[in-house]
Structure 1
Amino acid sequence: MEQTIRTTQDGRTVVVLTPTGRLDITTAWQFRLKLQECISKISPHIVVNLGQVNFIDSSGLTSLVAGMRDADKIKGSFRICKVHPEAKLVFEVTMMDSVFEIFDTEEDALEGVSRGITT
């Protein structure tokens, strides 16, 4: 999983996490721990780039929801971008696409953090 630190135009630090492959029962707990670590130690502003995740199950969705709750608790932000077409169906079927702030590109998600907008 790639982790990068970005700074928005207004100076906010944002952690961009880019998991790869599958976000399922075998990998979701590691991803969840990484989210917790980033939110508590680096920044409450998180962007998860799912462009390289071709499969996500309920465990993966649960880890994303938990990350969003953790960020919300400390007045951060949690955005998802570049959802892989194969994973996008899971978001739509479970109606999680209405729960998360989902952006087409990483730049759009970062811009949203800077402006404090929601979709």
Structure 2
Amino acid sequence: MRRASSVLELAWDDGLSASLSAEFLRVHSPSAEVRGHGPGQAKLVDAKQDVGFVRMEPVGNYGAKLIFDDGHDSGIYSWVLLRELAEQHDSLWQRYLEQLAEAGKKRSAGGVKLFSVKTET
């Protein structure tokens, strides 16, 4: 993972490689918050263009948990899911952009980015 560029780089033994952005992975999170608890319950996530990674935690041999800087930390990205996202990236991204347009939503939060500042007392 290259944190500065917010890209997760993956490579499989069969030669497939992919660079998936934090934004793409965040809006396609396997979490119930994004996908819902059943068919037709998925939520359109917007304003994540500037999201980044905080860290990645391995989950056994199964996959990884991605922690995003917007506080999202639920959902396990299995290696199978990451492969599917890599293979279907272009069509999934296009559909996401179409859904945003249909809903009148944007990828960015309107140019406002919040920062946390620690102070010592």
Query: What range describes the TM-score normalised by the shorter chain of this pair?
Result: under 0.3
Larger radius of gyration: 2
Bigger RCO of structures 1 and 2 (CA < 8 A, at least 6 apart): 1
Report the TM-score when normalising by structure 2. Answer: 0.27
Report the TM-score when normalising by structure 1. Answer: 0.27
Tell me which protein shows more helix as a share of its residues: 1
